[in-house]
Amino acid sequence: MDVLSTEIGPRTAGSEAAAKAAAAIAEAFRALELEPEVQEFPLLGYEPGEPELEVDGERYGVGPCLYAHPTAEHGVEGRLRRIGDQPRTFDGDEPAPIFAVEDEAGAELGRIYANPVYGEAIPFLAFQHLHITVGPAVFVSVSDGERLLSLEGARTRLVVRGEFVPGLRDRNVLARIDGRSDEIVVASAHFDSVWRGPGAIDNASGIEALLRVAERLAGRAHERGILLAAFGAEEIGLVGSRYFVQEAKLRGELDRIVGAVNLDCVAHGEPFELMVGPEELRGRALELAARFGLEDRYRLKLSAPGPGTDHYWFTQEGIPAVSVLHFPYPEYHLPSDMPDLVDERKLADATELAVALVESQVARPVPRIRPAPSEP
């Protein structure tokens, strides 16, 4: 965690810092006597600049929306209008409002998203669209999103600075523990972080846990193999894990993957969340959580697999999968996401549960759920 978040620091997708992080992880696998493989993929990068937002002459703190098209340097000016909502991370929370900046004719000039997760104005993706690029847009804090609800029609100026960077490459770092059969269970975590974010919790903590899982399972006989995957480019739409899954599908290797366990933000935050499916794997996860006393130590939340973490692309192919998280936390995606936040007990508990979930699927895989055929 110190190497990734302190020595290397912010490691955005496709950057030199991300390449250094991948090299450090490969070296850590070698230290465990595991031979790393590097899976490279092409990437359209994005370098955010400092955005600005003024509403009725008052300046607001804002975070960049990743892959947002820039405005002219002086920005755009118009009227504020609420155009919709985005569900928040947690059930029961009020949805996060979305606003447009419109000209006098009602044409949209830019967009303002309230943080859909927790806390302050953060760099984030606009997940409501399947394509990665969006028009000029920024994120405001949860509280400022609520303030803006009472300012509909107010004069608004928005400046978005950012640059699309073609021709970059990123990589996944893989290591294998052989089993008696050619079937495998994937254990994973991502290593990239966000603009100005050292990412100790998100997700150097997941990489630390993944290495601890590797240390526990390496050098032992297993019925099935284990593939340890450090994914790149997660913060820009789970790009590394999507590439891995699609390449495995293309090359006829996907049917060998019988399960997946992902670790993301595992050393700070609450509740202790398991994004898990199908039902049989959910039941196993609950049994293991009870065995380790996790329900007594934490507020345990079980949710269906969603598009927020790297297990998602596995579930879309019918592969039983779980993501283990302590989430959310106030420092999420901020420069304050530093190693002093780490709760060793939470990290150890997440690791213990991940090891057990991997071992359970290695010994007796949960049957796959075949995706329904696509409509013509």
pLDDT at 376 over 60: no
CATH 3.40.630.10 intervals, the chain: 2-46+168-363
| Residues constituting the chain | 376
Report the SS3 class of residue 274. strand
Which letter does DSSP use for residue 34 in this model? -
| pLDDT surpassing 70 at residue 129 | no
- How do residues 270-329 score in pLDDT, each as one tens digit? 999 999 999 999 999 999 999 999 999 999 999 988 888 999 999 999 999 999 999 999
Q: Give the pLDDT confidence of 101-113 residue by residue, as tens digits.
A: 999 999 999 999 9
Name the residue among 355, 362, 22 with its Cα closest to residue 215: 355
Residue with tokens 């850590």: 28
* Per-residue pLDDT reduced to its tens digit, 236-254: 999 999 999 999 999 999 9
Q: Read off the pLDDT of residues 132-170 as tens digits, 9 standing for 90 and up.
A: 899 999 999 999 999 999 999 999 999 999 999 999 999
Mean pLDDT of the chain: 95
Fold of the domain spanning 50-160: Glucose Oxidase; domain 1 (3.50.30)
Percentage of the chain surpassing pLDDT 90? 91
- Average pLDDT, integer, range 257-277: 97
What confidence category does residue 375 fall into, taking pLDDT thresholds of 50, 70 and 90? very low
Q: What is the pLDDT of residue 321?
A: 98
The amino acid occupying position 24 is A
> Does pLDDT of 91 surpass 80?
no
Q: Which CATH code, of 3.20.20.70, 1.20.58.110, 3.30.420.280, 3.40.630.10, is assigned to 2-46+168-363? A: 3.40.630.10
Assign residue 17 a region (left: φ > 0; alpha: ψ between -120 and 50; beta: otherwise): alpha
The torsion defined by the Cα of 168, 63, 172 and 206, in degrees rounded to 10, comes to: 160
Backbone angles phi, psi at 291, to 5 degrees: -60, -40
Q: Which pLDDT belongs to residue 87?
A: 83
Judged by average pLDDT, the poorest of 51-55, 123-127, 346-350 is: 123-127
pTM: 0.95
pLDDT, tens only, 313-342: 999 999 999 999 999 999 999 999 999 999
Q: Who's near 170: CB < 8 A, 6+ residues apart?
A: 13, 14, 18, 40, 41, 43, 192, 232, 233, 239, 240
Residues of the chain with CATH 3.50.30: 50-160
**Please, which residues have CB within 8 angstroms of residue 122's CB and are 6 or more apart in sequence?**
63, 115, 139, 194, 332, 333, 334
